[in-house]
Chains A and B, each alone.
Chain A
Amino acid sequence: MAALPRWLRQPSLPDWPLYPLGFIPAIWLFVQAVTDNLGADPAKALERGLGEWALRLIILGLAITPLRQVAGINWVRYRRAIGLLAFFYVLLHLITYMVLDQGLDWTAIGADILRRPYITIGMLGFLLLLPLALTSTNAMIRRLGGARWRRLHRLVYPAAFAGAAHYLLLVKSWPLEPIIYAAIIVALLAWRLVPVGKAGGRAERA
């Protein structure tokens, strides 16, 4: 393979700037919503926008391993920041649903979670991400031990699947956007199932 520039293959930039950068879309969406620039139903648009950013970040996080295996691009050092940002976007999406969409009507929220499959699945996805966010620190990795920590963090696979299904189940008919998100997520998950060639064995997969 033609050699990619080193700054791309093995970037040396630290990961901390990703956190402030990663929140720019959320802040931008919120400012747009408050200043009435998010269309006729700003609460819905904010909720949808945050959810879509969560899916994009999950996709980015899932793409890191295949990128390394296929293109030799090693961005593993940014994966924690991407994963945590995805979690925060899911959390903001959930808060928007509870506060702005449902007005903290706990009866309606409870009924939604129990009776609406897309909300049940969405909540499930959030609950699956919760332990991953809580064990994202170096101290927790050490405490759990690498192998156990890696096993635990495979929960991101069902969580990503739940995110894709959540989006597909809430729309009417079959518009393109949720289908595209679902297709990418399914492809990235399927990648984990097929054995790679000699370059990288199954053991290398994460």
Chain B
Amino acid sequence: MLIRRGPDIKASEITPKEIYLSRRHLLGGMAGAGLIAGLGGKADAAPLTAGKSAFSTDEAPTSLKDITSYNNFYEFGTDKSEPARNAHRLTTSPWTVKVDGMVAKPTTFALEDLLKPAKLEERIYRMRCVEGWSMVIPWVGFPLADLLARVEPLGSAKYVAFETALRPEEMTGVGGFFKVLDWPYREGLRLDEALHPLTLLAVGLYGETLPNQNGAPLRLVVPWKYGFKGIKSIVRITLTDKEPQTSWNMQAPQEYGFYSNVNPDVDHPRWSQATERRIGEGGLFAKRRPTLPFNGYADQVAGLYAGMDLRKFY
């Protein structure tokens, strides 16, 4: 029988939540007033006010530690521990997002302006990585549809393309001899997928602004698709009438399709997608659990793909 030692407790974890939140409020206020201009944009986590959502799962959320220390964000290194070490270099303030293409009102938003009218909600979603592991993440965000409504998509728009920031001077993983991906990171959705109420633009998790390694300051969350569709640190959103290029599809088209809906019946060519390991559940001896079609969101989204051969459109 194994006797498990309790986790090491850091001083920061003993500080009562109210106190460290108020401390951050103070810092936030100081930053706003230009009092700590020297910190130059590496915004510390700030609390967010968010309503509840009926879309949230009641499954136990994965720990903040696991969510923020086990990340695929190849701009900061291919090892899952690297983004937590390297992503602090990313300047997330000021931040602008250009929304253009087939819209009536193309706009370059300062992040504050983009967020001002947003009604933030907490959405506790399952996240299934294409590598065969999963988490439950309490995101804070707002529907992508709300942002798209503000720029008024034209009737001709059929798809939405997304682009991550590309900053070689801040991103430790985009240089080098072997390019892991063709930067900048790109993703895309069909317009009806983008407008689906489950599709979220996230700005926070666990009630605070996003840590950089999770895609600060603004990222996409599409819970019925594999995690890599959730593009991080978005700087551009373009409406178009052609299926956009997506990074992993460009890298290995036979392995990563444009749709990439979670599907236990369509294996990755090199590994099975039938099961997954839920991170943090049982530690070293965690059992695999069956993967659900559309990651358990089939009731809400299966209709989007009626009549489509999901083996062909993987």
CB distance from A176 to the nearest CB of B (A): 6
In Å, the complex CA distance between A71 and B55 comes to 66
Q: Among A14-22, A73-81, A167-175, which stretch is in contact with chain B?
A: A167-175
Interface status of A103 (Cβ within 8 A of chain B): yes
Provided the pairs A40-B280, A175-B180 are in contact, do residues A108 and B274 lie with their beta carbons within 8 angstroms?
yes
CB distance from B40 to the nearest CB of A (A): 31
Provided the pairs A108-B275, A169-B270 are in contact, do residues A39 and B131 lie with their beta carbons within 8 angstroms?
no
Name the CB-closest residue of A to B280: A40
In Å, the complex CA distance between A105 and B180 comes to 33
In Å, the complex CA distance between A115 and B181 comes to 27
In Å, the complex CA distance between A11 and B283 comes to 43
Interface status of A46 (Cβ within 8 A of chain B): yes
Let me know if A172 and B178 touch, CB within 8 A.
Answer: no
In Å, the complex CA distance between A108 and B81 comes to 28
In Å, the complex CA distance between A179 and B267 comes to 25
Name the CB-closest residue of B to A117: B270
In Å, the complex CA distance between A187 and B56 comes to 53
Let me know if A173 and B180 touch, CB within 8 A.
Answer: yes
Name the one of A40, A44, A115 contacting B66, with C-beta atoms under 8 angstroms. A40
Chain B residues, Cβ within 8 Å of A112 = 271-272
Q: Among B113-121, B159-167, B284-292, which stretch is in contact with chain A?
A: B284-292
Q: Among A30-38, A61-69, A153-161, A193-201, which stretch is in contact with chain B?
A: A30-38
CB distance from A141 to the nearest CB of B (A): 39
A34, A111, A112 — which one has the most chain B CB atoms within 10 A of its CB?
Answer: A34
In Å, the complex CA distance between A122 and B69 comes to 29
Provided the pairs A173-B181, A176-B178 are in contact, do residues A43 and B277 lie with their beta carbons within 8 angstroms?
yes
Chain A: interface size category? 20 to 34
Interface status of B279 (Cβ within 8 A of chain A): yes
Let me know if A39 and B284 touch, CB within 8 A.
Answer: no
Interface status of B5 (Cβ within 8 A of chain A): yes
Name the one of B5, B81, B280 contacting A35, with C-beta atoms under 8 angstroms. B5
Interface status of A137 (Cβ within 8 A of chain B): no
CB distance from B249 to the nearest CB of A (A): 12
CB distance from B271 to the nearest CB of A (A): 6
Name the CB-closest residue of B to A179: B178
Name the CB-closest residue of B to A112: B272
Interface status of A116 (Cβ within 8 A of chain B): yes
Interface status of B10 (Cβ within 8 A of chain A): no
Interface status of A204 (Cβ within 8 A of chain B): no
Chain A residues 5-59 with CB under 8 Å of chain B are: 33-36, 38-44, 46
CB distance from B57 to the nearest CB of A (A): 19
A91-118 interface bits toward B, Cβ cutoff 8 Å, 1 = contact, 0 = none? 0000000001011010010011001111
Let me know if A176 and B78 touch, CB within 8 A.
Answer: yes
Let me know if A41 and B279 touch, CB within 8 A.
Answer: yes
B5, B176, B248, B270 — which one has the most chain A CB atoms within 10 A of its CB?
Answer: B270
In Å, the complex CA distance between A147 and B270 comes to 40
In Å, the complex CA distance between A169 and B269 comes to 11
Chain B residues, Cβ within 8 Å of A33 = 284
Interface status of B80 (Cβ within 8 A of chain A): yes
A36, A100, A111 — which one has the most chain B CB atoms within 10 A of its CB?
Answer: A36
Let me know if A103 and B287 touch, CB within 8 A.
Answer: yes
Chain B residues, Cβ within 8 Å of A171 = 78
Chain A residues, Cβ within 8 Å of B307 = none
B60-89 interface bits toward A, Cβ cutoff 8 Å, 1 = contact, 0 = none? 001001100110001000111100000000
Let me know if A100 and B180 touch, CB within 8 A.
Answer: no
Sample 7 A-B pairs with CB under 8 A, ordered by A number.
A34-B4, A40-B65, A42-B283, A102-B288, A112-B272, A172-B248, A174-B178
